[in-house]
Amino acid sequence: MANSTLTKKRSTAYGSTVALKTAMAITGAILVLYLIAHMYGNLKIFSGQEAFDGYAHSLRELGYPMLPENGFLWIFRLVLLASVLIHIYAAVTLWARARRARPAAQRYKVNKRVARSYSSYTMRYGGVLVALFVVFHILHLTTNDIAPGGRSDSPYERLVNGFQPEFWYVTLFYVLSVIAVGLHLRHGIWSALATLGVNMSRRQGMLNAIALGIALIVTVGFLLPPLAVTFGLVS
Amino acid sequence: MNITLRVWRQKGQDDEGRLATYKLTDVSPDMSFLEMLDVLNEKLTLEDEDPVAFDHDCREGICGACGVVIDGEAHGPERTTTCQLHMRSFKDGDTITVEPWRAQAFPVVKDLVVDRGSFDRIIQAGGFISAPTGTAPDAHANPIPKPDADRAFDAATCIGCGACVAACPNASSMLFTAAKVTHLGMLPQGQPERAARVVKMINQQDEEDFGGCSNIGECAAVCPKGIPLDTISQLNRDLLGSLGKGVG
Amino acid sequence: MSENDFFIEGDPIRDEKAPEGPINERWDKRRFSAKLVNPANRRKLSVIMVGTGLAGASAAATLGEAGYNVTSFCYQDSPRRAHSIAAQGGINAAKNYRNDGDSIHRLFYDTVKGGDFRSRESNVYRLAQTSVEIIDQCVAQGVPFAREYGGLLDNRSFGGVQVSRTFYARGQTGQQLLLGAYQALERQIAAGTVQMNTRHEMLEVVVVDGRARGVIVRDMVTGEIETHFADAVVLATGGYGNVFYLSTNAMGSNVTATWRAHRKGAHFANPCYTQIHPTCIPVSGDYQSKLTLMSESLRNDGRIWVPKEHGDTRDPRQIPEEERDYYLERIYPAFGNLVPRDIASRAAKNVCDEGRGVGPSGLGVYLDFSDAIGRMGQEAVEAKYGNLFDMYQRITGENPYEVPMRIYPAVHYTMGGLWVDYDLQSSIPGLFVTGEANFSDHGANRLGASALMQGLADGYFVLPNTINDYLASGPFDAIDESHPEAVAAKEQVTSRIDKLLSIQGSRTVDSFHKELGHIMWEYCGMERSEEGLSKAVELIRGLRAEFWRDVKVLGTNEEFNQALEKANRVADFLELGELMCIDALHRRESCGGHFRAESQTEDGEALRHDDEFAYVAAWEFGGEDSKPVLHKEALEYEYVEMKQRSYK
């Protein structure tokens, strides 16, 4: 076994696993910030229909008249879409690399988790679930192509119609998906911080606490409006 | 103690491999895990059966040669090397499954023996300070703050056993590479090559078919030398710095 | 020539390369007189390096940097795993950073005295001179030595010397130094100056027209027997402590490379000089495969004792103070628990032989920290020795903060090795030997923290400045595998392997190795006698014959076959063991770590015979089943006065 055969083929570090992880971390951070803003908007439902619809409408006029109507929204959507696509591309590429690094034939016969949290364990399949949910969610509450409780031009009504007690299965799917998002954030935020080089031994506990805190806030924040509808607190 | 062993047997790299079951009686709790395998091999030899191949050398936890996955954990249930694991960590009547490190970058040579040459090639790519013999200034020319020296030392204690790769769900060697990047990067002597070093080592690591890091922490949890997980963050910081400077 | 039952005495020899003149100028003189090789010619010259420990990796890297074509071999899966990595304590250097009166001359003096006046003054002086450069070199490579808060290097006093000259990296100095050398080596591999072959074991040396020109190696993965040629061959293959089966050496450490060279004409010097380290964890059962050393720094605060009563099996905590015998403090009041390694080891053996040993096997003495814990507090003890206590607890399952540790001596280092001249060249031209594999610098006993110093001195600074004198007359005639000497050497290797595989007897290789180890430990260990050694020679001969009749090695050569690897090594240990006993037998004196029962003072201390034995015993291979030939190299002391050591 001569080991003096240093690979001469030189890949560039711009395409390295670390660079891909960095892309995931940055795009993930954008998406987390968006989620926090989105959650803030959702909670307006407790201020009544007017406040909620007014808030939704104001988003369309953000930046107006500097930008055309809906202009900001579309820039925002493009940034989000690009983030999602880059995030997914990097995830899939890294997933493929991980599979190549330990092919199916080389799996362990006995597996044991030593340090892995449930959230890190579910990152990949949880991520797929979240992606599917996002598609459903847009069709449901944004474009309203899926409208179990009837279509409406009022975002408030779309929400209230969608989560009526008789559509408990919609609520249930939503709840499960939001929990999946929470789990994804729990590991994702920590991982992004570590990837961006923020982790140091003495900070490790704090970073994990931040990740857990944000994940909990986002999960609860997103669960409150639909559950309030289902249980008749908002109508 | 009586022990049932399920041991991975694989004739060579291209062989498919399988788990074989052996029973051992009169195992002493004071035996090291490898001494227990020695006893198994003496028994197999006298029964005209091929003894189990496993890597080992110093048997005092420092050379990094030994390492098997025991019941799904790299180096077994204690945070130490396989040679320093003793049978008192198991119970009479236990069934113990023993597998090799599994990773594309660590092809199996035979049974529990793998080829870790990929680690050497990562070091070749840049895991050194270029200081040809005879060129050194006086050892006291460069005082180093104690905290930096201590952190460099902590990272430098890596024994290159490969448990981090074995335990990583992505079979990533980030902790190994990060330990060296951190060791050399903490020292003033390591600065001139710092930006280029991390880039070269990461590129080599990727080309060896190690997976990417997803910050799960399994590596640091099984590391017998306690290499801290935050070395990976330090590597990331160094790499991003290099990319920012256009050293790609 | 004279002949007795065991050996033939041949002509005396001398080191032709050592320069004359004031001792502090000799190394400069030699570097100046040695022929140089033009940088442009170096790439036409090739060197084979066997072994990648401190002495091998440092030399391969340095020769590679100089521009020679180096081919390197190690039996491990990576050069980083060589057993130098396990050295704990530290490395000496005469830096005098502590302003405590240290100097090159003092390091030289301590080392000659510590070696019990059986080493060469010229060599030891060069070692002390070079020690200073080693530290500089290692720091430049990034070796993380311990530092003080001011950022400067920390030093400690080690092994009973009175100055603080030991540099260290916690308890892992060997690891950090080796990784420094390993990284330098990997850098040269990447640069293409060194071709590295891991999992390759050297099994024969090829000697053509009186010069070492190559090696036969076995690829341990495929079993292929390969022939490699070069203009010079360097063996940096470590020591042979594993002849005792149980030692602090790595499981793979072996004598094969140097023994094969010995059989091809290289003299083997002082084979009986072995060092027994006093603070190892005792044997727990007959399955035991190796002994673990704990740093002797433990003796700075721990007190060593055994019960006064024979066969006292009480829990040590139940034994009252007045029924304990702190025997080192009693016999050696001036040095107490800090007497040198050889004395502490022998005293432990004596009390165990009296039946006062402790632990299940009766082969152990207590190393008690209860006084230290009482005096300094548990925290302070933990800060100082925590990692050693953890290691002890992991291996024995006992908590040393509560129950006294048990320790026993174990074979640790071999001062003997292939005879070399001042240039580190053996008696075969073109065959150089560095590090523990040669015999050169430690005499009859090695001081703590000096093995790492010697390995790196040889590899970084000595060999790269002497091998050029030999290579300057190269490149030598090109040879290929069809050369009769190469064919014959390869044939020797393959026929031996075939023989080992064809015996298919009833005993495993390990069972022979263990039996050999028992014989060596019993008769050629800490205390030796005429009668015991003569008996050991007979026993070893019998065991060797049985080995070649009844060993059982399964499998084939053409595969990864660890039993075959072991069989090859044990076959050589079985020959070496006999020579060690013969060497011990002929040396009718006690010196260094070697205590001869017939040569002691009235109060039982070691008695040297400088008038008769102040020489290096260089043994020439006499041929298969023939007596070895002894060549004496007289030792002269111009700078250090020969004195009997006393620690009372």
pLDDT digits over C456-502, tens only?
Answer: 999 999 999 999 999 999 899 999 999 999 999 999 999 999 999 99
Q: Which CATH number fits domain C278-412: 3.30.530.20, 3.40.190.10, 3.40.640.10, 3.90.700.10?
A: 3.90.700.10
Return d(Cα B44, Cα C20) in angstroms, integer.
60
CB–CB contact B135 C140 (8 Å): yes
Distance to chain B for C375, nearest Cα, Å: 28
Collapsed DSSP state (helix, strand, coil) of residue C629: strand
Cβ-Cβ contacts under 8 Å for C39 (sequence gap 6 or more) = C66, C67
- Residue B187 pLDDT exceeds 80: yes
Q: What is the mean pLDDT of residues B130-151?
A: 95
- Residue A8 pLDDT exceeds 70: no
- Residue A4 pLDDT exceeds 60: no
Q: Report the neighbours of B using a cutoff of 3 or more CB pairs below 8 angstroms.
A: A, C
pLDDT at B10: 97
- Nearest residue of B to residue C184 by CA position? B128
Domain count, chain A: 1
Q: How many residues does chain B have?
A: 248
Return d(Cα C609, Cα C1) in angstroms, integer.
22
Nearest to C555 among B35, B50, B128 (CB): B50
Residue A3 falls inside a structural domain: no
Return d(Cα B19, Cα A231) in angstroms, integer.
55
CB A156, CB A164: distance < 8 Å: no
- Residue B218 pLDDT exceeds 80: yes
pLDDT digits over B27-84, tens only?
Answer: 999 999 999 999 999 999 999 999 999 999 999 999 999 999 999 999 999 999 999 9
Q: What angle do CA C19, C25, C28 make, to 5 degrees?
A: 80
- Nearest residue of C to residue A5 by CA position? C190
Q: ω into residue C19 within 30 of 0, thus cis?
A: no
Q: A102, A120, A121, A202: best mutation site toward chain B, by most B Cβ within 10 Å?
A: A102
pTM: 0.96
CB–CB contact C190 A2 (8 Å): no
Residue range(s) in chain B whose domain bears CATH number 1.10.1060.10: 116-132+140-244
- Nearest residue of B to residue A107 by CA position? B102
Of C122, C629, C180, C502, which is closest to residue B183 (Cα–Cα)?
C180
Q: Who wins on pLDDT, C198 or A58?
A: C198
Residues β-bridged to residue C591:
C594
Nearest to A194 among B205, B233, B243 (CB): B233
Q: What is the mean pLDDT of residues A38-67?
A: 90
B13 and chain C in contact, CB less than 8 A: no
pLDDT at C296: 81
CB–CB contact B51 C554 (8 Å): yes
DSSP element (H, E) containing C212? strand C211-219
Residues in chain A closer than 8 A to B221 (CB atoms): 114-115
Residue A171 falls inside a structural domain: yes
pLDDT at A64: 83
Q: Give B 209-248 residues with CB within 8 A of chain C.
A: none
pLDDT averaged over every residue in chain B: 96
- Residue B146 pLDDT exceeds 90: yes
Residue A1 falls inside a structural domain: no
Distance to chain C for A200, nearest Cα, Å: 20
Distance to chain A for C187, nearest Cα, Å: 10
Q: Within 10 A of C381 (CB to CB), how many other CB atoms are there?
A: 21
CB C159, CB B152: distance < 8 Å: no
B177 and chain A in contact, CB less than 8 A: no
Print the domain residue range for A97: 15-103+117-230
Structure tokens given for A55: 């808030």
CB–CB contact A6 C199 (8 Å): no
Tell me how far CA of residue A153 lies from CA of A68, A138, A159, C401, in angstroms. Answer: 21, 15, 11, 76
Q: Give A 197-226 residues with CB within 8 A of chain B.
A: 197-201, 203-204
CB–CB contact B203 A13 (8 Å): yes
pLDDT at A144: 87
Indicate the pLDDT class of residue A11, thresholds 50, 70 and 90.
low
The residue annotated as part of the active site, out of C211, C341, C596, C608, is: C341
Residues β-bridged to residue C324:
C307
Return d(Cα B149, Cα C217) in angstroms, integer.
41
Q: What is the mean pLDDT of residues B233-248?
A: 92
CB C350, CB C328: distance < 8 Å: no
Nearest to C187 among B59, B128, B138 (CB): B128
pLDDT at C117: 95
A with C: how many residue pairs have Cβ under 8 Å apart?
Answer: 22
A with B: how many residue pairs have Cβ under 8 Å apart?
Answer: 172
- Nearest residue of C to residue A2 by CA position? C197
A200 and chain C in contact, CB less than 8 A: no
CB B12, CB B110: distance < 8 Å: yes
Residue A4 falls inside a structural domain: no
Q: Report the neighbours of C using a cutoff of 3 or more CB pairs below 8 angstroms.
A: A, B
Architecture of domain B3-103: Roll (3.10)
Indicate the pLDDT class of residue A66, thresholds 50, 70 and 90.
confident
- If you search the block for the tokens 């100055």, which residue do you land on? C163
Q: What residue segments make up the domains of chain C, in order of their start?
A: 278-412, 484-613
Return d(Cα A210, Cα A229) in angstroms, integer.
30
Return d(Cα C435, Cα C424) in angstroms, integer.
10
Q: Which CATH superfamily hosts domain B116-132+140-244?
A: Alpha-helical ferredoxin (1.10.1060.10)
Structure tokens given for C120: 């060469």
Q: A3, A12, A18: best mutation site toward chain B, by most B Cβ within 10 Å?
A: A18
Residues in chain B closer than 8 A to C566 (CB atoms): none
DSSP element (H, E) containing C278? strand C274-280
Collapsed DSSP state (helix, strand, coil) of residue A94: helix
Q: What is the mean pLDDT of residues A111-133?
A: 92
Nearest to A197 among B6, B102, B233 (CB): B233
Break chain A down into helix, strand, coil percent, rounded to 5: 75, 0, 25
- Nearest residue of B to residue C186 by CA position? B124
Indicate the pLDDT class of residue A7, thresholds 50, 70 and 90.
low
Residues of chain C with pLDDT under 70: 1, 160
pLDDT at A9: 57
CATH topology of domain C484-613: Methane Monooxygenase Hydroxylase; Chain G, domain 1 (1.20.58)
DSSP string, C75-111: SSSSGGGSGGGG--S-EE----TT-SS--HHHHHHHH
Return d(Cα C280, Cα C392) in angstroms, integer.
10
Number of continuous H segments (helices) and E segments (strands) in chain A: 8, 0
CB C436, CB C443: distance < 8 Å: no
Nearest to B124 among C82, C141, C189 (CB): C189
ipTM: 0.98
Indicate the pLDDT class of residue B165, thresholds 50, 70 and 90.
very high
Quick one: DSSP state of residue C594?
Answer: B
- Residue A10 pLDDT exceeds 60: no
For the four alpha carbons of A152, A156, A157 and A158, in that order, the dihedral sign comes to positive
pLDDT digits over B169-178, tens only?
Answer: 999 999 999 9
DSSP element (H, E) containing C394? helix C378-396
Residue range(s) in chain B whose domain bears CATH number 3.10.20.30: 3-103
pLDDT at A141: 87
